[in-house]
Structure 1
Amino acid sequence: MPTIIMKRGKRRYISQIMVNGVKKSKLFPDTSKASKQAAMQWELETRKRLERESIATRCLSIIVWINEYLDEVKARYSQKTYEEKRKAFSRFIDHSGYSMETPVDEIKRDAVRAFLRHISTTISGHAANKARKNLGAAWRWGERNIEDWPHMPNLFLTSERFKVEKNVRYVPPETDFWKVYAICERQDQVMLLAFFHLGARRTELFNLKWSGVDFVREQVYLQTRKRDGGLEGDWIPMTKQLCRDLTAWLKERQKMAGLDQEHVFVCLSQTAFCDDYYGKPFQKRQHFMEKLCKKAGVRPFGFHSIRHMFASRLWRKNVSLGHIQQLLRHQSPRTTERYLKSLGLETVRKSLQMTFNPSGDDEFPPN
């Protein structure tokens, strides 16, 4: 209860409380009824806050779990991945009824299911499955890395996935690819060929450095953040055609001044919009493929569709699932199998030597 003291020659109310060894106090202006009521309200609110903080200190709270996991994600993965996982946590706090101070062991299965159903209803089943995957991965990480993690099932991954209609991913005909290739400038031709002959992701090629191109062994070093270990890389063999084109492109680049000399592909556009980016490695190249496809008169496809085309080509040549997994740089063969099914393809048949045509010769674009 508030008490009255004399402070600097004036009688005033003071409130003092202690919760689990934590002491707080506050002075109020005078001994009026309003000051007494304000002091009593302060004691009530402060006591509740300290009790919540005390619980969070003794038990692993959601906020501790979130902060530790997102710190790890930020250090290991791309900004896009970090934002995706941060958004999943934000939606969970907003719609689950739990606060940041809630202990992890107080999360209930019914609340998790209700949250996922809410996301499925208000956004989509796909968004609910993505939230389930991201929060389930965060739970697994907590089990492996946080001391005193509660001994209970992974409440997210043990919840059933939502059924969604999956569209078959578009794989452009190779004739369309070569039509786009034919109208490109020289650097873009080399880049598109690299996408096709390496099955590379966009960021892998945008971040490719000359130090990661081994012309002697005919291989390139592609790095990705799509794995649990964070930024990791693999040496991928080049076709002879790609090796020749990269060699020729390097010679052309050496004659150009004012460019980033470290990266293989850089912005060469000198339009007003690109002034700030000239000579620097690409970030996104938004609308680039859309404009090229329109100019070539083909159905629009993007950089990742070329990766689909690469996988489709390997499947048609009877390359083994293991080899396709290695070339696509998937951690698990299950990922590769799902990837192929999403292209409308069956699981590949027996392993044959990887080649771009039956004779084993390198393939060149049609005249």
Structure 2
Amino acid sequence: MAYKNPNKNKDKFPWMGQRFIGKTKQRKCFTIKKEALLWESEQLLEPAEQKTLTVCLLDWATEYLRHAEQNFTGKTFCEKRIAFRQLFACPGINPKESASRLTALQVQKALQRQAASRSGNAANKDRKNLSAAWSWGVKFLRLPTENPFSKVEKFASERFERYVPTLDDFWKVFHSLEDDQDKLMLYCYLQTGARRDELFRLTWADVDFLRKRIRLSWRKNKVGEWRSQWLSVKDDLAEWLLRHKKGNSDLKAHVFVSYRSLAYQYRQHWLKKVCKEAGVKPFGFHGIRHLFASILAAQNVPLVEIQYMLRHTSLATTQRYIHRLKKENREVLAALPGLTASETKSTSKVHRQVLGV
């Protein structure tokens, strides 16, 4: 039964709750009596009962997705939710069944179904997300330590190199734009190498006109914590941002806003549309980020500096962002050994015979 707190902290916590778990007594301080009574009334399991507690697949998915929604970006959360939805749609997997009864063979069949109906890439992505969810369940829901998802081998998949626009194509799109804010946004991507949503959430508090720098914030890491970093920008970009602020007195907190004066969320079809209008091969915001890294590399900027500008934790990730800006390199070919003069004549004679000359 709850009672008045007799201890020194009674002014802050006037009520004390008390309950027993087996022969063990527990006490806890509360600000109001109702909270103490609710805490006392919670039905607790004996340690022996806790060991036999079973968690169904649906409960596991619900708890993990609640965690993911609070700690990951919206895109990552949706990706994980879809992975569970695809898993539970597979024949032979009952969401109400105990998670401890899920076998690697069931997982194998479920992911094989995804690989056949969608792609190997999709199956591998689901495998990664569900494996991470199971590891979380081992830690917090006492799931079996053997992870049935990690036992499944990765599926064969086709990897396509991301299309990176040429600088000429970027400028064609840039000059085709009529709206000044759109041109400024595109120029910001080229000058900062920002991720798409980093500029969408950019506020005027993140722009330091005195030191000519901007602060980009992101939440792309395992623990889902927000991180930010100040980046210096060129004089012309800082001046353009200042003109943009002065010329739009009705702007809200965000630097870039839609016609409804709201911050952008996706804008996924806009760039594809303007690329088509400019007559260039469509590219995305992330393609500009790769172009940014490739331009710096072509100018012999040290890799560690490019890593800092891209805000990567791994140098290996930065290396994947660097693409050749020229399709051919004749200087490299000149270093290869060639044919001798006599071999060249012989080869030319055969070539003429083939052509019937």
Tell me the TM-score normalised to structure 2 length: 0.69
Name 1:281's counterpart in structure 2.
263
- Offset at 1:284? 2.6
Q: Hey, what's the Cα distance between the residues in 2 that align with 1:340 and 1:134?
A: 27
Name 1:32's counterpart in structure 2.
none
1:295-334 CA-partner distances (Å, limit 9, x unpaired): 3332222222111211222333344544433332334444
1:192 aligns to 2:186 (yes or no):
yes
Name 2:77's counterpart in structure 1.
82
Judge conservation of contact 2:214–2:233 (CA < 8 Å) in 1.
no
Unaligned 5+ runs, structure 1: 1-53, 268-276, 346-367
1:161-310 mapped onto 2 (5 Å cutoff): 161-184=154-177, 185-241=179-235, 244-257=236-249, 259-267=250-258, 277-310=259-292
Which contiguous aligned blocks of 4+ residues in structure 1 show a shift greater than 6 angstroms?
A: 54-57, 341-345
1:191-216 CA-partner distances (Å, limit 9, x unpaired): 11211121111111111001111233
- Offset at 1:340? 4.7
Name 1:41's counterpart in structure 2.
none
Query: 2:181 is matched by which residue type in structure 1?
Result: Q
1:149 aligns to 2:143 (yes or no):
yes
Name 2:63's counterpart in structure 1.
68
Name 2:296's counterpart in structure 1.
314
Query: 1:246 is matched by which residue type in structure 2?
Result: A
Q: Which moved more, 1:105-114 or 1:247-256?
A: 247-256
1:67-88 CA-partner distances (Å, limit 9, x unpaired): 1110111112233322211111
Name 1:46's counterpart in structure 2.
none
Judge conservation of contact 1:206–1:282 (CA < 8 Å) in 2.
yes
1:7-44 CA-partner distances (Å, limit 9, x unpaired): xxxxxxxxxxxxxxxxxxxxxxxxxxxxxxxxxxxxxx
Query: 2:298 is matched by which residue type in structure 1?
Result: R
Name 1:330's counterpart in structure 2.
312
Percent of aligned pairs with the same amino acid: 39
Secondary structure class of the residue paired with 2:262:
coil
What is the alpha-carbon root mean square deviation over aligned residues?
2.9
1:180-231 CA-partner distances (Å, limit 9, x unpaired): 2223332222211211121111111111001111233333222223222325
Tell me the TM-score normalised to structure 1 length: 0.67
Judge conservation of contact 1:219–1:238 (CA < 8 Å) in 2.
yes
Query: 1:69 is matched by which residue type in structure 2?
Result: Y
Query: 1:173 is matched by which residue type in structure 2?
Result: T
Q: Hey, what's the Cα distance between the residues in 2 that align with 1:339 and 1:102?
A: 44
Name 1:39's counterpart in structure 2.
none
Name 2:151's counterpart in structure 1.
158
Q: Hey, what's the Cα distance between the residues in 2 that align with 1:216 and 1:97?
A: 63
Unaligned 5+ runs, structure 2: 1-48, 328-357
Aligned length: 278
Name 2:109's counterpart in structure 1.
114
